[in-house]
Structure formats: structure tokens, C-alpha cells
Chains A and B, each alone.
Chain A
Amino acid sequence: MTTATTTTVAPGTRRVARSPLRPVRDALAVAGRNLIAYRRVPQLVVFSTIQPVIFVVLFRYVFGGAVRSIPGVPYVDYLIPGIFVQTTVFGAIGSAVGLATDMKSGLLERFRSLPMARSAVLAGRTLADLARNVFVVALMAAVGFAVGFRVHTGALAFFVAMGLVLLFGYTLSWVFATVGLAVGDPETAQAAAFPVMAPLVFASSAFVPVASMPGWLQPFAEHQPVSVTASAVRALVIGGPTTSYLVQSVAWCAAILLVFAPIAVQRYRRTV
């Protein structure tokens, strides 16, 4: 029997030494567990893959003809950057629903009685969502290229844009993780997430130019995080002035993380 820490350990149980790697190991174990759910639960697969595809088709071929976007730029090139961002927002609801489900089922209670890193549940959840977003964003890019989307700049700018989309998605995971822990019930989490999400996605530059909106809505629509991120991604793949949007988007991400990560951690510590 080997034991690294205490003198009173059950006979016959070998343990890994309590190393600085424990938080990483545990977060990966929890993330792996969360990713299995994406493979095995049909609703989650549909929500994270088929639904964004439907959005692309809908806006590209149904609404797209009615939208006057930037002169000289085909609507599909305007649309796909917006779709990338919209997809991560919709996907982040999974963080809320997933955590609320674990809370309700008593799984979080078991986790809290185990000698695992306290950070692992939230780190694992947000990490799994990041992995899912990598997959979904890659899928969206493929669908985008298939319906005529073209990058006007270069490969590097495109990958920076994808990185920004993933950073934004990771940030939102913490927001929705907080929502999920706060409500503690999957159906309520779904219901609570929608009013947060809808104005961010639809009162934004994701699908239509802000200039086409009523004057009172424009200040919000122009500066809110979904819009500046969509505009930054768009600038990166279409070209034009990029720095201002990029800085605004990263600043939003930093600010949201600074506010919501501590709240989520605090809620997790108090949640049973």
C-alpha cells in the first residue's frame, strides 16, 4: 500500500500522490465524462450540430435575399461570421442545462464528497464545452464553405477569427454555468437561458447590419458582445479595419470572465 498524504488510509487502496496536477487530471476526467453525453444524448447532438446547419440554410437561402448587407460583399460572407458567434451562444445553454442536471441528480453531491479538486466540475464543464465548440465551429466552417462562403483575407486571419469565436464561447460557458447552478433544474435552466440569449443574438450584427435597426436599439446592438465579436470575426475574414472590434471583443471576454468565473465558483461552493 502506498499513500502520499494521510496515515489513515483504507487498507488495500493505492493512490496517486496528491500532486499539483490533481486539478488538471480531475478537470480532464470530468470533461471526458461530459463529452460522452454529447455523443450519447440525441437532443444534445441535434442541438449542437443540426440546428446551426438549419440556421445557415435558413438565412442563406430564405431570409438572405431580403437583407442588404455591406455593399460589394455577398450576404453569405456577412452571414457566416455571425453564424459562428450565434452557434457558440446557443451551444453555451448546454453548460447551464448540464450543470443544473448534475445538481438535480445528486451527482454534484457525490463529487463534493470525493477527494477531487474543487475546481474540477466547473473547469471540466467549460473545457468540454470548448471541445464541443471546436467541433461545431469546424462543422459550421465546412457548411459555410459549401454554401459559398469565402475568406477574403488569408489563412492566418481566418484562424485568428476561429480562435476569437472559441474564446467567446468559452467566456459564455461561465455565464451559463452560473445560470445553471443558480436555478438548479434543467428545464428552468433552459427557460432562464433563453431571455439572456435572445436579445444578445438577435439584437446584434450577427445576421443583419445594425444600421437597419431602429435608432433606440442601435447603441445597444452596436456595442454588445455578440455584435463586436461578430464584427471582429467579419473584419478578420472579409478585411477592413479590424483592431477596434478585436480589442472590444477581447475586452468583453475578459470582463465577463472576471465577473462570472468567481460568481460561478462561489455558487458551486455553496451548492449542494
Chain B
Amino acid sequence: MTDNAIVVQGLAKRFGEVVALDGIDFQVPAGSVFGLLGPNGAGKTTAIRILTTILRPDGGHAEVLGLDVVRHADEVRYLIGLAGQYAAIDPNLTGRENLRLTGRLAQMPTADARTRADELLERFQLSDAGDRPARTYSGGMRRRLDVAAALVQRPPVVFLDEPTTGLDIYSRNALWEMIRELVAEGTTVLLTTQYLEEADRLAHRIAVVDGGRVIANDTPAALKAQLGSTVIELGMSEDARAARAGELLAQRLDANPERDGATVRLTSDDGSRLLMDVLRLLDDQDLAPATLAVREPSMDDVFLALTGHRAEAETAANGARRGRRGARARGAA
């Protein structure tokens, strides 16, 4: 046995002409949180579907707790929990019935499934709504129920596909807290996300996925160190002024400004110092920006740093059939 809960080697999957996974590799140490970060169509969901035995890979190899996900699919299913991108619950069943059904289908004795359902409703603050049909639930409640269903059989490995997409900040924070508790109990979590912040807060390691390939695999700290911790965005009133501002800042500051239309973007580890220098310089030259934003780096910035292009999600109709991203164009100074 290894200390890795999940091992993925050269995993490949195509849907017709579309390459969803182009040979990805990563390992997830037992008891850790691993983040797959990437835009829509990067192949994150396809990877999760293969690891949860829903899809068969075309090539490569994947193991969960030492068991091959194709040859030992049934054994693997006893050890995993999945919360997919869409809340996979039966709207006509109550929250309690949904959890009991999942428990029974996970081959738990009926009495255990009942106890576990009550326990999870309590834990996810759904006890009061537990006997209402799930179709009456709010989006946040559905998502909580969905994650609860993934935990019914106390799986040692849990897969969460964009768990916080569409959640309000309160629900998101509650879910983050839940994930931390799971890990404290020894559960291994693989989650996908489009948000660098989420991966940063939760994951011990992050694999950045693009076009079906892993383009970086590192700790959140190391990834962010490549970026600088603060992004400053200056919105100029017109492209020409942005170009002049970009040139000026490039000459006078130890920063690497890049221009995208009328926007000039700088990253730095010392954001407040840089901000003051930037504004002083621009003011002197009568180049005051029309808008100003100071923020943490986003996934977009990670992509730019790693690939030289922005993360443009393909607008595919079918989530399962998302594949390689199309042509990308970027106009930076």
C-alpha cells in the first residue's frame, strides 16, 4: 500500500473529436485536500467522473486507495463519496428520504442508514427541513443536502466537483468549514474549483489543469509566489492613455505592467507600496486612472502567469463533452 489515497497516471479520455483529458498525472496523499483548478472545459469533471467509476478512461491508469477504478470499480464505490456539479438529489423525496435512500444503496443496513441520515441533517443544519420534499429547498440547502449525501457511507475519499459554485458567501464559508472538519477526521478530499481563492484556502496541493493537461502542480503558497500577492488594475479612459501609462510604469518601477485594451495590470508582493508609487507617477504625468482595483490574484492571473494566455472557458453546451479550449487571443502590451 502507498500513502497516496489517489494515484492518477497518464489518464486520457476523448469524446469523439474532443480531447477531454490528454494524459494527466497527479497523486493525492491520504488525509489531504487536493484541488484541481481550471476553467470550464479543462477536464476537471471528466477526471472526477473517471475516478468515481462513472466513466471509463481511454488510456492511463487511476487508483483509489490502491484499487484500480476500472478493474475494481465495485470495490472503489464502497470507499468514495461524490457531490457532482449539479445537486444530484431527488426533488420529490424529503431530505431525510434522500439520505436514507443513498445509505441503503451504499449497502448500509437500514437502521444505520436511518441514524446516519439524522446525523447528517443535524450536521448540515437541515434538521428542520428534513421532512419537506427537497424541491422546496433553496439552492444552498440543495447543495448542502447533496454534499451530505456524498458523506452518508462515511467514505474515506470524497470527490467534490465545484462544491461552492452558485452558493452565497454564508453557505460557501459553512461548506469550507465542513471540508476542513472532514480532513481533520482523516478523510481525503479531491475538489475542483474555478476559484484560486477556494483552492488556496482549502487545498494542500493544487494541480492547475488546462486543455486536459496538468500545467502546474504545487502548493498554493508556491503557486502564488510566482504571481505576487496583490494585483493592481488601472482602468484608463482610453487605450492610448493606457499605453502611455504602461510605458511609464515599466520604465520607472520595478514591476512588469501588462496592458489589455484600456486596462493596465501590475502584480506585486508589496501591494500598498507599489500602489502609492503607481498613483504618484501617474498623477505627475496627468494620467490619473478612471477606475482602480486592488485585489488578490485570481485563477485568471494564474493562467496568465503559467501559460501566457487568459483562461477562457469554452462555452460548451454539454458539461460532459467539454474539451480543449479553442483559439485564444490576447492583446497585452
Contacts and interface: CB of A to CB of B under 8 A. Distances in A.
B233 to A, nearest CB: 37
Contacts, number: 109
Interface stretch (A11-19, A60-68, A125-133, A224-232): A11-19
Interface stretch (A86-94, A113-121, A168-176, A237-245): A113-121
A6 B79 contact: yes
Contacts of A22: 107
Interface of A: 5-6, 8-16, 18, 22, 25-26, 29-30, 33, 36-37, 40-41, 102, 105-107, 109-116, 120, 272
A265 B147 CA distance: 28
A102 B52 CA distance: 18
Nearest to B92: A37
5 contacts: A16-B107, A29-B105, A40-B92, A40-B133, A109-B88
A82 to B, nearest CB: 32
A33 B97 CA distance: 9
B86 A113 contact: no
5 cross-chain pairs, A with B, having the tightest CB-CB distances, nearest first: A115-B77, A106-B88, A106-B86, A110-B88, A116-B105
B102 A110 contact: yes
Contacts of B74: 115
Contacts of B11: none
B134 to A, nearest CB: 11
Nearest to B53: A113
Contact of A5 (B75, B93, B101, B320): B75
Given A105-B88, A112-B53, 8 more contacts: A10-B153, A14-B108, A15-B109, A22-B107, A41-B92, A105-B89, A110-B84, A116-B77
Interface string B11-55: 000000000000000000000000000000000000001001111
A116 B107 contact: yes
B107 A33 contact: no
Interface in B62-110: 65-67, 74-75, 77-80, 82, 84-93, 97, 101-102, 104-109
